[in-house]
Structure 1
């Protein structure tokens, strides 16, 4: 008889930094491959939008007198809250005008791009189960986050380089090479900061939308702090915001580089915090524990509408609050609209074409297009939620019960349409209260609320377009984003650039009466509602007939 002695396993060496980052380069290349269309579209849109704005300054503010008039109207709390710190107004050439009016606005868009990059390649990978599968191979614990941050940094640096090259070659007064490089780097700096913030929020919650929503809320708080600080006398609150930091580079005025060091320090600290927090949770889980549900679901949750509302409530609340604040900010400058715009011939021509009893009403009609486009972004996201549920494999178990396809999609569409109407109402309330107060005209309040609600049928048509694509051409569902983008380009920029009327007629928003400047007309409202109903029916019919994408 022989005895066998089992040897004790050798102690496992602690993971090294190289081990935890193993596979980062491969995951980075894979992420770039997946975003080969999405990232170029983002970068080119931000780049071309900046260049077209800078080029328009030569037309809108050709004479020094025009720029002097802008300075006198911008030098108010409302004007500074919408733009940036007062120091830019000391020498208001085309360069300082670009830094003053564009950095704060572009920082929000660059931050949005960066947040979506991080959550798409970290939390979304875990939520779908792909991260667990990939990490079962020779991939380190921190590889996904490191790759996502690398892609975000690369995207922001490419944007910075394009902006530097593009602006320096335009030959605008006050726009030099050093200032153009600094202008580009301000975008990269603030984008990287918010990417690092998303690296933290991706560890907190187990859901992609929650991680994105929390990071976007941080961007909103940063913008509000910047606006509050710039509109005050001391500007102290602006120093609590990375958007305020990059604006205080005073690009094309003083060209101060050191505020970018604050952004770099904050980005490193947030990114390091994200890596540390990722070691304190399981794959697929978040640091915030999931709340225990009730033993028995409420009656509302047992209905398609109630269940869809539960899924959409976070995004609905975020857009509602954001549009209320946006409306209030635009309303705060409504009383100064006539003084701000009286010497800008191109805008005056656009306002004259709109009509209206006063400049405030005409300007409100123009601004309402911007507010409505943001609301259209919400309805497209909400209307495409069934597509994401289908591709994630969550629709199949629901539809295997007694729930019909029509009722399931109908619940999401009902939330999209009613939610879109609600965010319009909130925007109108913010615009109406603030606008009536700034203009000293209480009669503006009901007019502005009604002007916002008048766009509801156009939003319903947007939902209809999204559901038609989802029902008949699911792989092309993202084409629904063409509707809000086209509405902004033609409905807002087209007024300034004098696009032909037939281009505006191709957008559902182009058929809405331009309240409060124009008179109300119910015929286009009824027709838009009928078109929306027809599109929804057509989309539901297509979804009923096609195969469900299964996992």
Structure 2
């Protein structure tokens, strides 16, 4: 038995980085490049000092915007404006990436039995946990470093860029430690991810309420995401706040290591509830089994979509305020047809955002098939009278229709809240719902690509996350980065008419639907012909 608790860590880190050599670079490039993408456009939108100075007071007076973006400390320069727009969203998504990364290389390895096999050899007690933490920390550090380099290249002050990048990276490190703790508590990877995401959701909610309601502003100081905004990059940096994030990450990491000594490999500190000796009458079909496996994530995602739809819907009527008093933006509004048109454009973008996030859920639901296959739970099932297509149908129902349900929930609530603000519920609900559901064929194209990978290249099925990430980047930031239209057309979301402002055309939707059907069919045909495992 080895006396070095970290023996083998280096090899496990190399293995983890090799397995994630596509997914992690996409996360890092996407999140690290987003803030700098808008810094260059600031000078074009707000040309005079008076226009820039009016931004801070105008944005601070809008609690709905503070709920989403956080407090605007100083929007008089490109750096401060960029940090306000992305100072809460980038840390949130980076925290998600770090949670999924550390869980994948710790608890999921135990779920599949690979960790027990490795632990039977010459491997230190803390090697597996350390490898997962190091991989998550490298993801956070890489994103923070790229953010600094990209912002500095955009011409903003280096000190503010360093503060912003450090805050982002340390938030990722904190939630890497959170993921490490939940990996010790839960017995299954999906439960560990659910617990960690619940902590992240609470942290974001505390920050949002604290920033929107000034009388309870102290709530922001209970959240690591709130601390990242309180670093105040480009607004008189508070470097000492970074110490809070670093100290919390170290403390939580120490808790994770302490908990890991109190359990055996493959078990969690919170034992799973034993099931009944015989299956319930409602659990006698592949569809019922799929519901049992997907119901937790489906309900959680649906609730998140409901909250997101309500929040963004309440912002739509006042979206013109975000543009400020700039003469350039007033001229742009006039060219677009006035305030009504900018609201329509915002609602169209909102539908696209709902669809893009729904595609992420769809990828997760579709990849559950591969997780069940790797865990050797599919082969015994297929040895019965259950056929392969019947088994996949249950999972794909949640991937395809589940994403549609979530989009509809978000759209209805967004239309309802916007309709209540403008006293036009009867027209706004169907308008927003139609604009959102028009994006559904594009979502299904992403899912078709996932099934193709699952059917023909199962070992590389997780590349589907990279496919979804590229679609996000091209759709949301392709115009900002001024990429050529040929490159932007790679994303299926680029081809969807931007309703309700644009004219409806069915041709691109039919093409997207046809591509998704072909991709799904070919992928399923590949799964029928290949070996399981």
- TM-score normalised over the length of structure 2: 0.90
Match of 2:260 in 1: 278
Q: Any idea what SS the aligned residue of 1:59 has?
A: helix
Once residues 228 and 369 of structure 1 are traced to their aligned partners in structure 2, the CA distance between those partners, rounded to angstroms, is: 26
Match of 2:187 in 1: 206
Once residues 412 and 314 of structure 1 are traced to their aligned partners in structure 2, the CA distance between those partners, rounded to angstroms, is: 14
Once residues 132 and 441 of structure 1 are traced to their aligned partners in structure 2, the CA distance between those partners, rounded to angstroms, is: 60
Once residues 360 and 486 of structure 1 are traced to their aligned partners in structure 2, the CA distance between those partners, rounded to angstroms, is: 27
User: How far did residue 32 of structure 1 move?
Assistant: 3.6
| Shift in alpha-carbon separation, 1:514–1:39, aligned structure 2, 3 A | closer
Using the TM superposition, name which of 333-342 and 495-504 deviates more: 495-504
For these two proteins, the number of residue pairs brought into alignment is 529
1:331 has 2:331 as partner: no
**2:159 aligned residue (178, 181, 189):** 178
Q: Which runs of 5+ in 2 are unaligned?
A: none
Match of 2:56 in 1: 71
Once residues 17 and 286 of structure 2 are traced to their aligned partners in structure 1, the CA distance between those partners, rounded to angstroms, is: 37
Match of 2:372 in 1: 389
Once residues 523 and 166 of structure 1 are traced to their aligned partners in structure 2, the CA distance between those partners, rounded to angstroms, is: 39
1:232 has 2:213 as partner: yes
Using the TM superposition, name which of 449-458 and 216-225 deviates more: 449-458
Once residues 380 and 238 of structure 1 are traced to their aligned partners in structure 2, the CA distance between those partners, rounded to angstroms, is: 33
Once residues 440 and 236 of structure 1 are traced to their aligned partners in structure 2, the CA distance between those partners, rounded to angstroms, is: 35
Match of 2:449 in 1: 465
1:219 has 2:219 as partner: no
Once residues 429 and 513 of structure 1 are traced to their aligned partners in structure 2, the CA distance between those partners, rounded to angstroms, is: 19
Match of 1:47 in 2: 32
- Indicate conservation of the 8 Å contact 2:351/2:439, yes or no: no
- Greater RCO, 1 or 2 (C-alpha within 8 Å, sep 6+): 2
Match of 1:447 in 2: 431
- Indicate conservation of the 8 Å contact 2:40/2:78, yes or no: no
- Indicate conservation of the 8 Å contact 1:354/1:518, yes or no: no
**Correspondence list, 1:476-491, <5 A:** 476-481=460-465, 484-491=468-475
- Indicate conservation of the 8 Å contact 1:483/1:507, yes or no: no
User: How far did residue 19 of structure 1 move?
Assistant: 4.0
- Whose Rg is larger? 1
CA deviation vs aligned residue, 1:417-454 (integer Å, no higher than 9, x gap)? 11111111121133123322344432323322332233
User: How far did residue 379 of structure 1 move?
Assistant: 0.9
Q: Any idea what SS the aligned residue of 2:40 has?
A: helix
- Indicate conservation of the 8 Å contact 1:21/1:139, yes or no: yes
- Indicate conservation of the 8 Å contact 1:204/1:288, yes or no: yes
| Shift in alpha-carbon separation, 1:477–1:344, aligned structure 2, 3 A | farther
| Shift in alpha-carbon separation, 1:195–1:420, aligned structure 2, 3 A | same
Match of 2:71 in 1: 85
Once residues 44 and 362 of structure 1 are traced to their aligned partners in structure 2, the CA distance between those partners, rounded to angstroms, is: 27
- Indicate conservation of the 8 Å contact 1:432/1:448, yes or no: yes
- Indicate conservation of the 8 Å contact 2:91/2:168, yes or no: yes
Q: Any idea what SS the aligned residue of 1:302 has?
A: coil
User: How far did residue 112 of structure 1 move?
Assistant: 1.7
- Indicate conservation of the 8 Å contact 1:333/1:438, yes or no: no
- Indicate conservation of the 8 Å contact 1:119/1:202, yes or no: yes
Once residues 180 and 325 of structure 1 are traced to their aligned partners in structure 2, the CA distance between those partners, rounded to angstroms, is: 31
| Shift in alpha-carbon separation, 1:266–1:408, aligned structure 2, 3 A | same
- Indicate conservation of the 8 Å contact 1:351/1:359, yes or no: no
Match of 1:8 in 2: none
For the aligned residue pairs, the C-alpha RMSD in angstroms reads 3.0
**1:432 aligned residue (411, 415, 422):** 415
User: How far did residue 153 of structure 1 move?
Assistant: 2.8
